[in-house]
């Protein structure tokens, strides 16, 4: 090789290396790597509304055997990744406890998730891959039909069985905690019998956001606002981290509402106070307004007021420092469901006075930050867990 060729090669290599470094620098020239698309659509059966879905890359740990797994319901009211085995094409090894498989019972308001714990390498957006993330594989017949432990069988709600039954391939729980162990039940199972166990923290099913190297203190969910009669679909964004990148800064006009040990703030409505929470995993505003008409017949207890009806509630942070009113609207669900649309900002139901559930309609047209308990967010006065959002 001639000296001149060597010199040219060296220059080219140096240039390439510099360009590569520039491309990966932060804040950088490349597109933001902390973003996942969040699509509101009818779901895997195209039969539901107001549910936001995301996709991840999921791999057998330590290998290049991977798939893109879409149809994951993005849920701010749970923590951890839970997947139906029917949606998986890659093998995810089970987490073992000696010779036994670890399994879990997780409770949701409309079903119970039972099944083994497995590990997976997971990539969200262009964030660095999370290696060997503990996830739940939802299967009511694990370890064999009829062998679920009794305590998992006592709710009366159905078990999560398959994507067609529940309208998603899995749940991407990105709520306020990193670990799910306080609120679920863990077991070790032989092929026929499961025994209650205490799962070490680092082996529990975990909110994957909390394991990102930098953008790990929470998320920002943002969606455009659809028309009053809804939209066929909406494309929003799930952005990782809070005040860690140019695209996830909390505006100074936003208030932080802290959550208590139950992961709730207080919502005051019509002079009554109840626990409140922000819930992208549910489809409506669920709260008790005894004066708002319910839909007739089988559509009850959805609300069916005559025309778009304004409502107002006040949220109070658990530390009582911040409070703020939220104005929202409820439309006639009968009219909304008669459209082909799947994204509504004005859908609500009366499911009783126990809680004020701010479901996905609240998130449409808003930017909502969810701060994870135990993490640090720079530039805010109150530590997580908190929610921050534009009021109206």
Partner 1 sequence: MKILPFLNVVLVGGGLLLAGAPSAARATLGEPAASVAADAAQMNATAGANPEHPMPGLSAQNAPTSANFTVEQITTPDGTVVSEYVDQGGTVFAVTWHGAIPPDVRTLLGTYFKQYSDAADTGAPSPFGLHASSVHASDVTVQTGGHMGFMWGRAYLPARMPAGVGLSEIK
| Buried-exposed string 42-58: b where 16+ CB fall within 10 A, e elsewhere | bbbeeebbbbbbbbbbb
Footprint of partner 1 on residues 7-36 (CB under 8 A)?
none
Q: Residues touching partner 1: how many (CB under 8 A)?
A: 76
Single residue of 75, 245, 346, 382 touching partner 1 by CB under 8 A: 75
Q: With binding defined as CB under 8 A, does residue 275 bind partner 1? A: yes
Least distance from partner 1 to the Cβ atom of residue 149, Å: 13
Residue 265 and residue 274: Cα distance in Å, rounded?
A: 9
Residue in the block written with tokens 């559509």 = 299
Least distance from partner 1 to the Cβ atom of residue 170, Å: 12
Least distance from partner 1 to the Cβ atom of residue 228, Å: 17
Residue 307 and residue 178: Cα distance in Å, rounded?
A: 42
Residue 187 and residue 292: Cα distance in Å, rounded?
A: 45
Closest CA to 41 of 72, 18, 7, 85: 72
Least distance from partner 1 to the Cβ atom of residue 274, Å: 5
Nearer to partner 1, 35 or 106 (CB): 106
Residue in the block written with tokens 């409505």 = 269
Footprint of partner 1 on residues 83-122 (CB under 8 A)?
106-111
Burial class (CB in 10 A: 0-12, 13-18, 19+), 147: middle
Q: With binding defined as CB under 8 A, does residue 332 bind partner 1? A: no
Q: With binding defined as CB under 8 A, does residue 324 bind partner 1? A: no
Applying CB under 8 A, the span of 54-62, 73-81, 215-223, 234-242 interacting with partner 1 comes to 73-81
Taken in order 350, 351, 354, 355, the sign of the CA dihedral is negative
Nearer to partner 1, 90 or 351 (CB): 351
Q: With binding defined as CB under 8 A, does residue 198 bind partner 1? A: no
Nearer to partner 1, 64 or 262 (CB): 262
Q: With binding defined as CB under 8 A, does residue 194 bind partner 1? A: no
Single residue of 104, 127, 215, 279 touching partner 1 by CB under 8 A: 279
Q: With binding defined as CB under 8 A, does residue 175 bind partner 1? A: yes
Nearer to partner 1, 32 or 372 (CB): 372
Report how far Cα 323 is from the mean position of its chain's Cα atoms: 25
Report how far Cα 293 is from the mean position of its chain's Cα atoms: 31
Q: With binding defined as CB under 8 A, does residue 243 bind partner 1? A: no
Residue 117 and residue 82: Cα distance in Å, rounded?
A: 9
Least distance from partner 1 to the Cβ atom of residue 339, Å: 8
Footprint of partner 1 on residues 336-375 (CB under 8 A)?
337-338, 340, 342, 349, 351-355, 357, 359-360
Applying CB under 8 A, the span of 45-53, 96-104, 141-149, 238-246 interacting with partner 1 comes to 45-53
Q: With binding defined as CB under 8 A, does residue 146 bind partner 1? A: no
List all residues 6 or more positions away from 213 whose beta carbon is below 8 Å from its beta carbon: 128
Least distance from partner 1 to the Cβ atom of residue 51, Å: 6
Please state, as a whole number, how many other Cβ atoms lie within 10 Å of the Cβ of residue 191. Answer: 9
Run of H or E including 17: helix 3-24
DSSP 8-state secondary structure symbol assigned to residue 208:
G
Single residue of 64, 262, 378, 381 touching partner 1 by CB under 8 A: 262
DSSP string, 226-237: PPTT-BS-EEEE
Q: How far is CA 295 from CA 269, 338, 360, in A?
A: 21, 13, 20
Single residue of 62, 93, 128, 158 touching partner 1 by CB under 8 A: 158
Residue 51 and residue 49: Cα distance in Å, rounded?
A: 6
Applying CB under 8 A, the span of 85-93, 131-139, 269-277, 362-370 interacting with partner 1 comes to 269-277
Residue 14 and residue 19: Cα distance in Å, rounded?
A: 9
Least distance from partner 1 to the Cβ atom of residue 92, Å: 22
Applying CB under 8 A, the span of 131-139, 162-170, 210-218, 240-248 interacting with partner 1 comes to 162-170
Please state, as a whole number, how many other Cβ atoms lie within 10 Å of the Cβ of residue 125. Answer: 21
Least distance from partner 1 to the Cβ atom of residue 181, Å: 11
Q: With binding defined as CB under 8 A, does residue 181 bind partner 1? A: no
Single residue of 282, 311, 315, 322 touching partner 1 by CB under 8 A: 282
């Amino acid at each position: 090789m001639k000296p001149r060729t060597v010199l040219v090669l060296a220059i080219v290599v140096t240039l390439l290396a510099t360009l590569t470094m520039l491309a990966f620098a932060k804040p950088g020239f490349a597109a933001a790597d902390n973003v996942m698309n969040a699509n509101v659509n009818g779901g895997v059966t195209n039969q539901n509304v107001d549910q936001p879905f995301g996709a991840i890359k999921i791999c057998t740990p330590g290998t290049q055997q991977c798939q893109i797994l879409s149809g994951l319901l993005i849920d701010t009211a749970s923590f951890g990744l839970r997947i139906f085995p029917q949606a998986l094409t890659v093998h995810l090894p089970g987490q073992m406890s000696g010779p036994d498989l670890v399994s879990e019972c997780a409770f949701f308001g409309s079903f119970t998730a039972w099944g083994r714990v497995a590990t997976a390498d997971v990539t969200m957006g262009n964030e660095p891959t999370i290696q060997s993330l503990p996830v739940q594989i939802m299967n009511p017949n694990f370890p064999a039909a009829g062998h679920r432990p009794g305590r998992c069988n006592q709710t009366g709600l159905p078990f999560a069985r398959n994507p067609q039954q529940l309208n998603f391939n899995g749940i991407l729980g990105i709520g306020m905690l990193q670990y799910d162990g306080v609120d679920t039940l863990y077991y070790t199972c032989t092929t026929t019998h499961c025994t209650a166990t205490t799962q070490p923290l680092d082996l529990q099913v975990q909110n994957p956001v909390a394991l990102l190297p930098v953008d790990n203190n929470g998320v920002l969910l943002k969606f455009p606002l659809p028309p009053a009669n809804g939209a066929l679909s909406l494309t929003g964004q799930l952005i990782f981290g809070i005040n860690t990148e140019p695209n996830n800064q909390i505006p100074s006009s936003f208030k932080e509402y802290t959550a208590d040990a139950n992961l709730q703030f207080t919502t005051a409505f019509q002079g009554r106070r109840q626990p409140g929470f922000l819930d992208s995993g549910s489809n409506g505003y669920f709260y008790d307004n005894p004066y708002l008409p319910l839909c007739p017949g089988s559509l009850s207890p959805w609300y069916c007021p005559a025309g778009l009806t304004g409502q107002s509630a006040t949220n109070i942070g658990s530390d009582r420092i911040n409070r703020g009113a939220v104005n929202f609207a409820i439309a006639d669900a009968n009219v909304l469901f008669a459209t082909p649309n799947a994204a509504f900002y004005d859908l609500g139901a009366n499911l009783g006075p126990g809680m004020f559930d701010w479901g996905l309609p609240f998130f449409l047209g808003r930017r909502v930050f969810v701060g994870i308990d135990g993490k640090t967010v720079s530039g805010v006065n109150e530590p997580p867990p908190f929610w921050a959002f534009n009021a109206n």
